[in-house]
Structure 1
Amino acid sequence: MATDLDGTLLDSTGSVSPRTRRALRLARAAGAEIVFVTARAPRGVEPIAEAAGVSGTAVCSNGAIVYDLAAREIVTRHDLHPEAAAHVIDVLAEALPGVAFAVETGTVVLAEPGYDVHHHDPRSRREVRSVRETAEPFVKLLAWSGRHSVDDMAAAAAEAVAGRAEVTHSGVGGLLEISAPGVTKAGTLAGFCAQRGVEPAEVAAFGDMPNDLAVLAFAGAGYAMANAHHLVLAAVERRTLSNDDHGVAVVLERLYGP
């Protein structure tokens, strides 16, 4: 079972409800392996895994990191090459005037002036003059603007980047998330499943945002949350209730209940 976190497994307060915890226990007792597939970095996943009682593997940073929750270590990571990132910065700055940038290293966010996004743990943010000067490897380039809708930004960025990177978003206003070419939630999940001999038909998946679309298409049973982005609702036939109505738990109870 593969699930997104924000807007999907978590309710609107960012919590795992008691009903969802019980449903996850039910699934594990039936032999299901639970994999978090999220835009969050590992530091943002660990407290949720603890609250949910999940200790397996997490696909983090939109597929750029595979993280062992029990060992608390990165198993694999796919960095965005600095030259590719510099090109993306140039084309996005031209296509989206006023955009500001940050990078996710896997452990911290390095943010330029004007990057007005509040991440889950403010202690993980460091200010830098320019992300171009970042010496650390990074897994995501983040582009934010208060002047444009995120859907318009995504459309402009996809055209401007032209295959040099993966561009998506997870619902945060005005924020694009940019990864190395070919790095997606679905691609990393598919590799994880192939290593374990798990067929796509055996996978149930849950999501709510455009960065979940390929995961829901990969899974034999992909469920869109009732609160999902309009592009997800238009593309995914299977539905469950909203995150605040325990939509993931409802399906797990049906699949694994007595």
Structure 2
Amino acid sequence: MATDLDGTLLSSTGAITPRTRDALGRAASGGAEIVFVTARPPRAVRAVAVQAGVAGTAICSNGAILYDLATGDVAAAHTLAPDLGARIAETLATALPGVAFAVETGWEVLAEARYTLHQEDLFRRVPSACGAGEPIVKLLARSAAHTSDEMLAAATAAVGGLAEITHSGVAGLLEISAAGVTKAGTLGRLCAERGVAPHEVVAFGDMPNDLAVLAFAGAGYAMANAHHLVLAGAAFRTLSNDEDGVAVVLERLFG
């Protein structure tokens, strides 16, 4: 079972409800391996796993990091080269005037002065996000003047196949990974290693970065609160994250 976190497994308050925790426990007891597949970096996943009672492997940062929840070790990382990140940032600065950049390393955020978002106390301010020379798990592009959908369309046209570009619902924020690095790609490799066929996978998501995961899975569920592209593209639907939509499906599958 593969599930996104924000807007999917977590309620709008960021919590795992008792019903959802119980349903996850039943699924695990029934033989399911539960894999978080999230845009969140590792530092923001482990506490959720404890709250949910889930151990094992998490796919973090839109597929860039394979993370061991029990040990805190990074099993694999697929990063964007800093020089390519700088080239992409230069291209996007022209395509999206006023955009600001930050780099997610998996353990911290290196943010330029103009980059503003919540949790700024976690940022390390740098003159140039890509110029810091750190491995780039995700290049983050932020604009207060554009919607995420507008940014995605413009960035995809400008950058082409140099990188994977998506968003996970934060207003005015794009998330950019190395070419070929996606949630679905990393999940597919993990399933192949486990001997799990796509038709055996049940998946849940709500945002454009989840679309390929839902298409990969034999049963891909869009949350009722999902982005319109996800609602249109998913084969199945469940209730919203605030109505324990994931739990509803798991209860039907595992009793």
Uncovered stretches (5+) of structure 1, i.e. residues with no partner: none
**Given residue 47 of structure 2, which amino acid in structure 1 is its aligned partner?**
P
**Given residue 146 of structure 2, which amino acid in structure 1 is its aligned partner?**
H
Superposed displacement of residue 87, structure 1: 1.4
Matched, 1:115 2:115: yes
Mapping for residues 1-258 of structure 1, pairs under 5 Å: 1-119=1-119, 122-257=120-255
**Given residue 25 of structure 1, which amino acid in structure 2 is its aligned partner?**
G
**Given residue 252 of structure 2, which amino acid in structure 1 is its aligned partner?**
R
Uncovered stretches (5+) of structure 2, i.e. residues with no partner: none
Q: Does the CA contact (< 8 Å) of 1:84 and 1:165 recur in 2?
A: no
Per-residue displacement from partner, 1:125-171 (whole Å, max 9, x unpaired)?
A: 21111113212212110000000111010000001111000000000
> CA RMSD, aligned part only?
0.8
Per-residue displacement from partner, 1:238-258 (whole Å, max 9, x unpaired)?
A: 00000000000000000000x
Q: 2 CA distance for matches of 1:106 and 1:44? A: 9
SS in 2 for 1:163: helix
Q: 2 CA distance for matches of 1:145 and 1:164? A: 21
SS in 1 for 2:45: helix
Q: TM-score under structure 1 normalisation?
A: 0.97
Q: TM-score under structure 2 normalisation?
A: 0.98
Q: Does the CA contact (< 8 Å) of 2:85 and 2:136 recur in 1?
A: no
**Given residue 228 of structure 2, which amino acid in structure 1 is its aligned partner?**
H
Q: Greater CA deviation, 142-151 or 129-138?
A: 129-138
Q: Does the CA contact (< 8 Å) of 1:105 and 1:138 recur in 2?
A: yes
Superposed displacement of residue 123, structure 1: 4.8
SS in 2 for 1:162: helix
Runs of 4+ residues deviating >3 angstroms: none
Q: Does the CA contact (< 8 Å) of 2:220 and 2:234 recur in 1?
A: yes
Q: Does the CA contact (< 8 Å) of 1:165 and 1:178 recur in 2?
A: yes
SS in 1 for 2:141: strand
Superposed displacement of residue 210, structure 1: 0.1
Q: 2 CA distance for matches of 1:24 and 1:137? A: 34
Q: 2 CA distance for matches of 1:86 and 1:194? A: 34
Q: Does the CA contact (< 8 Å) of 1:107 and 1:124 recur in 2?
A: no
Q: 2 CA distance for matches of 1:201 and 1:132? A: 40
**Given residue 173 of structure 1, which amino acid in structure 2 is its aligned partner?**
A
How many residue pairs get matched? Answer: 255
Q: 2 CA distance for matches of 1:117 and 1:70? A: 30
Q: Does the CA contact (< 8 Å) of 2:103 and 2:130 recur in 1?
A: no
**Given residue 244 of structure 2, which amino acid in structure 1 is its aligned partner?**
H
Q: 1 CA distance for matches of 2:171 and 2:27? A: 33
